[in-house]
Amino acid sequence: MKINRIICVLAIIGSGVFASYYGGNISYAIFYMTIFIPIISLLYTLYVYVRFKIYQSMESLVVVKNDWTVYSFIIANEDVITFSNVKVNFLYDRSTIEDTTSTTEYSLLPGEKEYMETRIKCNYRGEYHVGVESIEVTDFFYLFSITYPISTKLKVIVLPRIVPIEQLGIAPPQIDVKNPIHNSNLNEEELDTELRKYYPGDNKKRIHWKASAKLMELLSRKYHHKPKAEIALFMDLKRIDEDELHITIVEDKIIESILAIGNYYANRGTPSQIIYDMGGKKMVSIASKDEFNAFYKACVSIHFDAVTPVNTLMEERLIRGDEGIFYVTATHVLTKELYMTSLKVLTGNNRLCILFISDDITESTKELINSLKLAGADVYQIMSEDEISDVLMAKAI
């Protein structure tokens, strides 16, 4: 294209010099023709842009990350002139379109159209544009190439994955339920000190004999419900200072790891609570699959701009007087403050698992990991290329 422009400029200059020296109708006709060529070429590119039609659609604009869905687009020449050298540029930074390249070139005769149906996969959670990004129109003489953005881009809502795990290897044995609980909705019961009158049919083991002898009537001890051990899941939503692609990868892994664990326990009827800071402290209690699904649908709008550090959220949870609780913290940075809070968690007879989602392998980070492990915490580092399920099921293999 650069060479064509140079030739055009030289032709205009040459024909102008020729016409000024020799004159005549032919020389001036050549001169005006060389001037009109770039003007006509520019007008052609503008005309093609206005008249060129492109239609694109997806089977659904709400999809799950890494799931393939049907994608189709049509480019059409509904005019009376030929459209040549029209390039369609696809968005490939966050999605993958099957059987296409980043740029596809078309030449269409009057009334001709091209139709393509393929599949598209969104690679990251969030809300963004996919499909065709822009159209590049080039004239017949390859003098001008103008790229026009598409005004009607496809905007999709991409939900995070729910990574299925059969066994949660990172959980303590007394909490990790290997098999589904058929009576998972029933709470455990234990004897209370409160008494009531004995009725025929009551279990005789519940009779409080000493009190019965004192009052000269049979008294039975009541049962009270004892809640199951709860799982506390902490998401660190502090802003990540990395390049855009790495930020997206880390954010997805933090959310998906918490979702995988929450889904695992929801399927087994074990209550859990997801705690994070997003415009204020949020605590989402999940005791059933329906409650988990409601939280899952809201995950598309989660953004990483937390003000409160995750270690502070853990300390605020400890104020409840937790004992024997399984803490899971998904974070992208290890700090001394997190280490000190971890010590407090562990001294309360709680179990702590830290999912460290980062590619950081510096010596200072390694020292913090070793210190946390020596204190009794389980620390799992998840790299960018690691699959979450492989880490979460590590001990179950």
Strand 231-235 relative to strand 326-331, pairing: parallel
Alpha-carbon gap, residue 287 to 301, rounded angstroms: 22
CATH number of the 231-396 domain: 3.40.50.410
Phi first, then psi: give them for residue 62, nearest 5 degrees: -120, 110
**Residue closest to 262 by CA, chosen among 179, 330, 320:** 330
- Asked if 137 and 52 count as a contact pair (C-beta separation under 8 A), the reply is yes
Residues of the chain with CATH 2.60.40.10: 2-159
Which of the 8 DSSP states describes residue 207? B
**Residue closest to 234 by CA, chosen among 308, 337, 329:** 329
Count of CB atoms situated within 10 Å of the CB of 263: 21
Token match 């009190």: residue?
211
Say how many Å lie between the first and final Cα of the chain, rounded.
Answer: 60
- Asked if 51 and 98 count as a contact pair (C-beta separation under 8 A), the reply is no
Q: Render each residue's pLDDT in the chain as its tens digit; 397 residues.
A: 678 677 777 777 877 777 777 777 787 787 778 888 888 888 888 888 777 788 899 999 999 999 999 999 888 888 888 887 788 888 888 899 887 776 777 788 888 888 888 999 999 988 889 988 888 888 777 777 788 788 778 999 999 999 988 888 888 765 544 444 333 333 444 444 567 776 676 676 677 777 777 777 777 766 544 444 579 999 999 998 888 888 989 999 999 999 999 999 999 888 999 999 998 999 999 989 999 999 998 888 899 999 999 999 999 988 877 778 899 999 999 999 999 999 999 987 889 999 999 999 999 999 999 999 999 999 999 998 999 999 998 754 3
Alpha-carbon gap, residue 132 to 128, rounded angstroms: 13
Token match 């990991």: residue?
369
- Asked if 96 and 109 count as a contact pair (C-beta separation under 8 A), the reply is no
Alpha-carbon gap, residue 141 to 43, rounded angstroms: 12
Count of CB atoms situated within 10 Å of the CB of 6: 10
**Residue closest to 68 by CA, chosen among 139, 4, 131, 123:** 123
Alpha-carbon gap, residue 51 to 13, rounded angstroms: 33
- Asked if 88 and 115 count as a contact pair (C-beta separation under 8 A), the reply is no
pLDDT at 229: 52
> What is the three-class DSSP state of 155?
strand
Biggest CA pair distance of the chain: 138
- Asked if 195 and 221 count as a contact pair (C-beta separation under 8 A), the reply is yes
What Rg do the C-alpha atoms of the chain give, in angstroms?
Answer: 34
**Residue closest to 75 by CA, chosen among 105, 45, 120:** 105
Alpha-carbon gap, residue 257 to 263, rounded angstroms: 10
Show the CA angle centred on residue 104, arms to residues 99 and 110, nearest 5°. 120
Amino acid in the structure at residue 84:
S
Q: How many residues does the chain have?
A: 397
Alpha-carbon gap, residue 122 to 117, rounded angstroms: 16
pLDDT at 114: 84
> What is the three-class DSSP state of 67?
coil
Amino acid in the structure at residue 253:
K
Q: Which two tokens stand for residue 20?
A: 């000024």
pLDDT at 193: 52
pLDDT at 187: 42
Alpha-carbon gap, residue 318 to 330, rounded angstroms: 17
Residues of the chain with CATH 3.40.50.410: 231-396
pLDDT at 182: 37
> What is the three-class DSSP state of 29?
helix
pLDDT at 181: 38
CB crowding 270-289: b at 16 or more within 10 Å, else e: bbbbbbbbbeeebebebbee
Q: Domain 2-159 sits in which CATH superfamily?
A: Immunoglobulins (2.60.40.10)
Q: Which two tokens stand for residue 1?
A: 């294209």
